[in-house]
Amino acid sequence: MSITVTPTQSAPNRSDFVCEISGIDLAQPLKPADRDAIEEAINRYAVVVFHDQKLTDAQQIEFAGHFGPIHSSAQRARHQSIKHRLERTEIADISNLDGDGKVLDVNARRRLDWLANRLWHTDASFRAIPGALSMLYAHVVPDEGGDTEFADMRAAYDALDAATKKSLEGLVAMHSIFHSRGQLDVTKYTPEELASLPPVPQRLVRTHPGSHRKTLYLAAHASHIEGMPIPDGRLLLMDLMEHAVKPPFVHAHRWRQGDLVIWDNRCTMHRARPFDTTKVRDLRRVTTRDVASTLEQAA
């Protein structure tokens, strides 16, 4: 049996952003034809959903490795002294659980840091070579809340007027993980942690290589625009963010246990929605590495 790709209507008249793929068990060795069909779906849609999967951490890593080299989790660089729950450094622990598998204390540092996933962002834009594809797998999900929302940055770019598009040409934004955390007043990082992830430049508009479509590249990590007074750059970023997360561009994913969701960080933003954080939500992510800094890629 071969895979079936079914477009999801994410907003009225929009069925080119999210799709569902069925007819495949991702725990089994991936056939080249299926790999290629999945990649084609990712390039076309940006968000791809698989239901009813049963994956170990090793199987999730193995699957992701078919789509590019894997980014080791930056969380570990930021939290060097705490006990980590999961052994494999390729997995980012997106759960609200501590090193012993217990729900994080309200004031736990990792919980405060993790809350920044509630801000619109794209994964690892704060690293010189940013993230490409993120693959998030649901082990345990709460009964209520905790959706993940996605914003279509190609559609958001397309909807800008010609003068705005022109004014954005060649602009470069600075990204730092500590800028997104700072917005929530989460600032207690050691000098070593701060030094491990210095701010990096990324293009504000880039061409998505798999579709050759132009896309905005925004995130809560972006603090200002190179060569512009900081307030002007920050206001521009705020205006673009506000534009890009309007309802026509946004899709909410309601999690079921066993879902694997892939999104393309090069042309989307996402954020977590609130839930009762005394309940367990155990999601684990593997992210592939982009080929180079956006500055070295097509504008």
* Contacts with ligand OGA, residue ranges (CB under 6 A): 94, 117, 123, 134, 136, 148, 270, 272, 283, 285
| CB-side neighbour CA atoms (13 Å) of 153 | 25
- Choose among ligand OGA, Mn ion, none what residue 272 binds, the Cβ cut-off being 5 to 8 Å by kind: ligand OGA
- Choose among Mn ion, ligand OGA, none what residue 283 binds, the Cβ cut-off being 5 to 8 Å by kind: ligand OGA
Cα–Cα distances in Å, from 29 out to 5, 35, 53, 66?
19, 10, 14, 10
CA dist., res. 233 & res. 227, Å (int)? 9
Please state the φ and ψ torsions of residue 239, each to the nearest 5 degrees.
-65, -45
Q: How far is the CB of 160 from ligand OGA (least distance, A)?
A: 25
Q: Which is nearer to ligand OGA, 171 or 289 (CB)?
A: 289
Which span (15-23, 24-32, 48-56, 119-127) binds Mn ion, by CB under 5 A? 119-127
CB 245 within 8 A of CB 151: yes
Q: How far is the CB of 131 from ligand OGA (least distance, A)?
A: 9
Residues contacting residue 166 through CB under 8 Å, at least 6 positions apart: none
- Choose among Mn ion, ligand OGA, none what residue 285 binds, the Cβ cut-off being 5 to 8 Å by kind: ligand OGA
Which span (24-32, 117-125, 240-248, 259-267) binds Mn ion, by CB under 5 A? 117-125
What the block records as the tokens of 257 is 């246990």
Q: Which is nearer to Mn ion, 24 or 97 (CB)?
A: 97
CB 84 within 8 A of CB 93: yes
Cα–Cα distances in Å, from 38 out to 48, 66, 112, 264?
8, 11, 35, 12
The reply on whether position 264 binds Mn ion by CB under 5 A is no
Q: How far is the CB of 112 from ligand OGA (least distance, A)?
A: 15
Q: Which is nearer to ligand OGA, 214 or 253 (CB)?
A: 253
**Among positions 34, 90, 98, 123, the unique one binding Mn ion when judged by CB under 5 A:** 123
Residue among 229, 238, 237, 286 nearest 262 (CA): 286
Name the residues that contact Mn ion, by CB under 5 A: 123
